[in-house]
Amino acid sequence: MGRIDKNGKPAGTGKPVTDNPWEALRRFTAARIALGRAGVSLPTQAQLAFQLAHAQARDAVHLALDVDALTAQLQERGIGAAGETLVLDSAAPDRLAYLQRPDLGRRLSDASRAQMLAAPFAVAAQARPYDIAFIIADGLSSLAVGQNAAPFLAELMPRIAPENWRIAPPVIVRQGRVAVADEVGELLGAKLVVILIGERPGLSSPDSMGLYLTWMPARGLTDAGRNCISNVRPEGLRYEEAAYKLHYLMSEAHRRGLSGVALKDETAGQGGELDVRGNFLLGGE
């Protein structure tokens, strides 16, 4: 601990905040490093920034998903015709129950399940008529899917168009968790399901979206049967990078008939069209 002079400033520095020698590394990360200190405390600016980030994370958790706005965004990008998007609810009746009972967010409400069992889904699902189904759920950050789901899918769709996959109508699930996609995908009759979901907010990323892919979805599957792509957002894993990785996993899942721990993401080794950014720890720029 450094000495403090009579004016409350670190002795010998001539300024109220003592800089951290790691200051130059801050340009490589949004993590809270090299904040400096004022005496034995954080500088006021860093403390206020922390409080703002904490408030933004809390807001992201409790903010209700604007289904109408999300549906409009999808339609503007040609994803789901008017009236085609299915809007469902999990078994969690409200946000408090969703947060306290994770199990309720993993299955559909009775009303939504009955909606899915109505024709034509009840008959069509037996033959798995769809090659892929996209589910969008608020998860722990409706802000994340509200900002990222539609533009990400707009980036992905041209990549998968040459595959000629039969795509199910888009589905939005309120108060949903990852596993709800297994039930929805099974009832739709999809061979492969991808759920776009808001991830638990961090103090530098309240808008991070996750992608989970499952082959032959069915209730009761565990996380070992899924593949995950995390932190999809402009300041994290960019849409084009995430779309490239997801397309690879989707293609391999169809080719090999599996997902999860048996399916590895080998896009980094292939290089491909990804703009691999340098790692400062390895001397990149």
Binding residues for adenosylcob(III)alamin: 178, 199, 228
Beta bridge partners of 229: 211
Beta bridge partners of 88: 173
SS3 call for 21: coil
The CA distance from 197 to 93, in Å, is 19
**Start-end of H helices in the chain:** 44-62, 67-76, 95-100, 102-105, 110-117, 121-124, 142-160, 180-188, 239-256, 267-270
Which two tokens mark 191? 């061979």
The CA distance from 260 to 101, in Å, is 25
The CA distance from 84 to 51, in Å, is 42
| Other Cβ atoms within 10 Å of 282 Cβ, number | 6
User: Which residues are annotated as part of the binding site?
Assistant: 178, 199, 228
CA 9, 13, 17, 23: dihedral to nearest 10 degrees? -160
Among candidate residues 22, 100, 2, the one with its CA nearest the CA of residue 280: 22
